[in-house]
Structure 1
Amino acid sequence: MLTRKQHELLCFIHDRLAETGVSPSFEEMKEALDLKSKSGVHRLISALEERGFIRRLPNRARALEVLRMPDKGGSNIVPLRVPAAAAANDVVELPLHGRIAAGTPIEALQGTESLAVPAALLGPGEHYALEVSGDSMVEEGILDGDFALIRKTDTARDGEIVVALVDNAEATLKTFRREGQMIRLDPANRNYDPQRYRPEQVVVQGRLSGLLRRY
C-alpha cells in the first residue's frame, strides 16, 4: 500500500514519461507535490524503488522507469505493458556537434563527427549529441565528459534541461525557467549562480533526452 504522496509522485512520473519520454526533474517533482525540499523527493523515490514500483536507469541523467502501477483502488498491482526494447546491436549514428558547457557558456561548435548510440536510449524525434564540458550540472547526474543526447526542439517548459544558445554565439546546458520578463538558466551545482537573459537573447536548440557515459 502506497502513501498518498508516494502514489502522487508515481502518477506524476508515469504521466510525464508517457507525455514526453523524459523523467521529470527533482525540482519539478518537488513543486508538483508541494514539498519543501528535494530531500523529500529523494525519500519518496527511494521508497518507490524499494517497493519495486520504479527503478533508476544507469548512465542516464535523472532517468526513472516505472515498472508497475497500483490499480484504482490502490491495493493491487497492475504490471505495465513495456514495449520491446531495441536489440542490443541496434545503434544509431548521431551527429556529434562538439562540446557543450555545463558551466559558463562556451562557443557552440558544429563538428562533423558522429557518435554511435544504442537506439534504446532514444525516444521519438530527431536527435544529436554533445560532449559535456564542466561540472555545473552534476546534481542532475551530468558529469564532465558525458555525452548529452539532445532531441531537437525550439520550445521548452519550465524545469526541462535544454541546450540554450545565448546571443547567437554561445551554448550551454542548463535547466530552463521563465522568471517574470526574463529567461533564467539554472545550474545543478550549488557553486554556480543562475544566469538571467532577456528572451531575445536565448534560443532553445533542444531538450535533454538521455546521457551516454564511457568508462
Structure 2
Amino acid sequence: MNHVAAQRQQDTDRFYSLLDALAEQIGGTRRLFNCSAASGWPQRGVYFFFEDGETRTDGNRPRVVRIGTHALTTTSHTTLWTRLAQHRGPIDGTNPRGGNQRGSIFRRHVGTALLATGHWPSEIAQSWPKNHVTSQQRQAERPLELAVTAQIAAMPLLWLDVPDRDQRGTIEANAIALLSQRTGAVDPPSPGWLGLHTANPKVRSSGLWNSNHVDDRYDPSFLDDIALCLKSHSR
C-alpha cells in the first residue's frame, strides 16, 4: 500500500471511529420511520445514513451511504429535522407515507433505482425525471413515492450537532469526498447495493447516495472539526 492509500485508510478509520463516538454520545442510530420533530434534534447539523446490508470492507461495520446537511446559505432557515423530514416524507396528513422527490434529490436518486429494479407503470418512469408535473402525474407517482419513503425511513442514521454554517459545509463536503469511490475510497459498495441502479452516474460510481462533492479532494482537517463538535456537545 502506497503512502497516499495508507493515509486514506487511516483517515477513513478515524472517521468511523469518530462516528462510533458520536453514536455513543447520542444513544445510537435512529430510523426515520419512528421519528418526529419531538424526537430531540439539534437545530443545525450534519447527518450520516447507513443502509442494511452495506458494510465496510471488513464486513463487520456498517458503511455510510449518504451524507448531508442543510441551511448553508444566509437566507435558509431550515432545521435539521425539516431536512430529514423532506427526505422521509410525511407520516400523516393528506399524503401519508408519501413524499415529494422534487424537494429531495435523495428521494429522486432512490426512486430511479427502484424504477430500474422493479415493475412500474410507464407513466411513472416518464414523469419521475421531470421537475414540473401535473397534479394527476403526481398522484400517479404516489406508489413509487411510498416505496421511496419505505426505503429511506428504514435506513439507520446518525446526526452531528454543528451550529456553524461554514463548519457544516466543510464536514459534509469533505466526508463525501473521503468516502467517494470516484476519488479512491477504501470501502466499496456491495454488489447488491440499490444505488448501483440509480440513473445518476455519480451516485453509481461513488458508492454514495450523493452527487455533489464526489469528485473533490478531501482535507483531513475536517476530522478535527468533527472531533471538536463531539467535544463541545459531550455530556
TM class by shorter chain equals under 0.3
Greater share of helix: 2
Query: Relative contact order (C-alpha < 8 Å, sep 6+): which is higher?
Result: 2
Greater share of strand: 1
